Chains A and B, each alone.
Chain A
Amino acid sequence: MTAKSQPKAATVKVGDAIAPFTSAPITRTTLALYAGASGDHNPMHIDIDFAKAAGESDVFAHGMLNMAYLSRALLGYAPQSAIRSFGVRFQSIVRVGEHLTCTGKVIELFEVHGERRAKLDLTATTSSGTMALKGEAVVALG
């Protein structure tokens, strides 16, 4: 469930961990639904024949699907209205059958235009132990 209120500046500390979010295993249905909903119809994610012809062993997850899962961990920590920025580097491909575990921790506290903010370090790791995403977000504190 997503956070209902902003984390409080008075209580947030550097090093605080956010509640992890674990996705369901990624299936071919997941990729088909995400292709439709996102509008990204690149056949590398939905057509095994195309993926094999391109030298891949199978289709793989859209990077932005993985980022959407990471956003679920972020939204568990702070409501969307408090998110000032969110970014990732895509580190590795996520395969069908894998799931992602998304974690994060507070790495910096600062103030911009009188608003107290926290910077979070975010990570999504596959069930086979590979780091799929390395990200950062800035959230406003209450």
Chain B
Amino acid sequence: MPIDRKKFLGYELPAHSMTVDAWRLRFFAKAIGETDPVYSDLAAAKAAGHPNIPLPPTMIFCLEQGRPNAYKLMDDMGVDISRILHGEQHFEYHKPVYAGDTLTFVTKITDIYDKKGGALEFFVRSTRVTNQTGALVAENRGVVVIRNLG
């Protein structure tokens, strides 16, 4: 079933905030096989001139998705999560983020379109990420593809 564009184009998700936890950065570094200790060890991070362990480049997406019940948007839109694929993901970085920072994510659905006569449907979520001082740290833009059954 196509996404209700009237309802969801321009839809803003409730803002959510998250503190960047050092344990989770270590867990992420392990999961992706990161070998640079800067991304898991506070002493190594400080020795490299960082105030704390830095958030690696793609992990800001994980925190964006870290709202309670991350797939509620899909449920609300009537999208079956076994039919979705991540189509694109883009980041613009404005300020570094470290363990201990608290980030606030404001996400909007900024586009909805389809291809192949509706067999593929796409929506774009655009997120502004600010830190505890209110500074813009990153802008994330993701495209989700829904493989509709013919």
Bitwise interface map of A from 1 to 28 toward B, beta carbon under 8 Å scored 1, else 0: 1101000000000000000000110000
Which residues of A are found within 8 Å of B63, using beta-carbon distances? 39
Taking CB atoms and an 8 Å cut-off, the chain B residues in 99-122 that contact chain A are none
A50/B31 in contact, CB under 8 A: no
- The SS class assigned to the B binding surface is mixed
A86 to B66, CA, bound (A): 21
Query: What range describes how many residues of A lie at the interface?
Result: 35 or more
Which residues of A are found within 8 Å of B38, using beta-carbon distances? 2
A75 at the interface (CB under 8 A from B): yes
Chain A residue, CB-CB nearest to B18: A39
Query: What range describes how many residues of B lie at the interface?
Result: 35 or more
B58/A67 in contact, CB under 8 A: yes
Known: A68-B56, A71-B56, A86-B57. A30 touches B31 (CB 8 A): yes
Q: How many Å from the CB of A17 to the closest CB on chain B?
A: 20
Which residues of B are found within 8 Å of A68, using beta-carbon distances? 32, 56, 58-59
B8 at the interface (CB under 8 A from A): no
B81/A37 in contact, CB under 8 A: no
B28/A72 in contact, CB under 8 A: no
Q: How many Å from the CB of B131 to the closest CB on chain A?
A: 16
Chain A residue, CB-CB nearest to B95: A81
Q: How many Å from the CB of A96 to the closest CB on chain B?
A: 15
Chain B residue, CB-CB nearest to A23: B33
Which residues of B are found within 8 Å of A90, using beta-carbon distances? 85-89
Chain A residue, CB-CB nearest to B32: A68
A64/B61 in contact, CB under 8 A: yes
B31/A33 in contact, CB under 8 A: yes
Chain A residue, CB-CB nearest to B87: A90
A41 to B47, CA, bound (A): 35
Taking CB atoms and an 8 Å cut-off, the chain A residues in 55-111 that contact chain B are 62-65, 67-69, 71-72, 74-75, 80-81, 83-90, 93
Q: How many Å from the CB of B25 to the closest CB on chain A?
A: 9
Q: How many Å from the CB of A66 to the closest CB on chain B?
A: 9
Out of A2, A50, A62, A87, name the residue touching B36 (CB < 8 Å): A2
The interface of chain B, by Cβ under 8 A from chain A, is 24, 27-28, 30-36, 38, 48, 54, 56-59, 61-63, 65-66, 70-71, 81-93, 96, 141
